[in-house]
Structure 1
């Protein structure tokens, strides 16, 4: 039987491939796939927010105790610092405007912290119980595609090649795998990784993904958001029955 971290590594590898697939959709100008990925942003935001608030936060408080609130806040603030304070231009989704030449590399640095904690989240969740690990994996996989779109389109917008754009997305995937491996090696992450990851996940869902669609007209994207939250509950029921 696989250890929790071994299982987490397999799931993290699948999630990491989502970064590359998102990048390939951009470099190959797959219009239909890009339109579908836009709906992944909304659906993923609903699923992620539900997982973070209903499942991850209670477990984080149980594992980290009185330190949990500060750690959740630290995770939230760390992502804001790297993605929106130190990074001059960042938003989820395809970049279609001319941007500063530093926008691509700086966004990559900002996303590396976030994707590292994707791996920490998957590993920490599997250390609690497999069902939680699967739910966290699904939440992360759903935003890996738009993540790949984001970094690859930024790289293309600053004049980098398609290969470099896909390579940047692959680095994000590697950071996720590193998060899994290091969680197993660092005792602080074993105990408190879930709390830090909760803050990161809440930020990505509520502050990164939701603003990308909340100003757009129509009912499809809001519907996808609520469907994502509903899908979380359906997934939870199914996993509870299997478990």
Structure 2
């Protein structure tokens, strides 16, 4: 049971974010040509995930006060990480997004593992939904790294790596279901704060154009319907 749930969670994470990375590689020339639109798209995807998914679910499980508190802690944590990262300006933005997706996928894995304990069908459904939901997140990571001129092979590798914590989260969720179910809201809030800081501090200030706004709105729509 534990091995099965871990593999399901791992596949949901790796295949989802990896698919986003592959999509960005296919359209690499267009990414370079329409960089403002693509940066706006990645910002819209990430901010929509924060609002529609992470904070909403965290409020449902942990309440508004704790969600706001730990989201703010996630922002502070990301500021600390940024101060320690030794990359050039554009590279720093891409790698910060990669780290935020890593942090985000752990609590999603916990949710998958915990749900299998209550009902297997629910766990499988959640794994499929989160796997689809991870495609635009992998795309957001890949677009940002592409904007920093990271090689295509390295981008695809990073997007697959970004999905690995979901396998770990699924293992922990099914093994310690009762314990981690009560902490999922905390992890989701920390991930929300991380992604919020990246969008507001790194992505949007660098893509000030009408095309970035169109991309931002497109990203929001994608996440809403997925």
Shared fold, TM over 0.5: yes
* Residue equivalent to 1:144: 138
Instruction: State the alpha-carbon separation in 1 of the partners of residues 111 and 48 from structure 2.
Output: 15
In structure 1, the gaps of 5 or more residues are: 96-102, 236-243
SS at match of 2:183: helix
Deviation at 1:175, TM superposition (A): 3.8
Cα distance in 2 for residues equivalent to 1:227 and 1:153: 18
Superposition map of 1:1-243 within 5 A: 8-18=9-19, 21=22, 25=25, 30-35=28-33, 39-65=37-63, 67-82=66-81, 84-89=82-87, 95=91, 113-126=99-112, 140-148=134-142, 167=157, 170-186=160-176, 188-204=179-195, 206-210=196-200, 211-235=202-226
Q: Is the 8 A contact 2:6 2:167 kept in 1?
A: no
Q: CA deviation at 1:8?
A: 4.1
| Deviation of the 1:138 alpha carbon | 5.1
Q: Is the 8 A contact 1:11 1:137 kept in 2?
A: yes
**How high is the TM-score relative to the length of structure 1?**
0.60
Contact 1:118 1:197 in 2 (8 A): yes
Residue 86 of structure 1: CA displacement?
1.2
User: Cα gap change, 1:183/1:77 in structure 2, threshold over 3 Å: closer, same or farther?
Assistant: farther
198 and 139 in structure 1: CA distance in 2 versus 1, 3 angstrom threshold: farther
- Structure showing the higher helix proportion among its residues: 2
Q: What's the offset of the Cα at 1:6? A: 6.4
Shift of the 72–148 alpha-carbon distance from structure 1 to 2, 3 Å rule, reads same
Segments of 5+ residues of structure 2 without an aligned counterpart are 116-121
Q: Distance in 1 between matches of 2:187 and 2:149?
A: 29
Q: Is the 8 A contact 1:15 1:144 kept in 2?
A: yes
Instruction: Indicate how the Cα distance of structure 1 residues 147 and 175 shifts in structure 2: closer, same or farther if over 3 A, else same.
Output: same
Distance in 1 between residues matched to 2:37 and 2:176, nearest whole Å: 36
Distance 1:30 1:68, change over 3 A: closer
Ranked by relative contact order (alpha carbons within 8 Å, sequence separation 6 or more), the top structure is: 2
Distance 1:176 1:124, change over 3 A: closer
The 2-side partners of 1:114 and 1:170 are apart by 14
Q: Give the Cα separation in 2 of the matches to 1:163 and 1:227.
A: 26
Give me the whole-angstrom Cα distance separating, in 2, the residues matched to 1:229 and 1:163: 27
User: Superposition RMSD on alpha carbons, in Å?
Assistant: 4.3
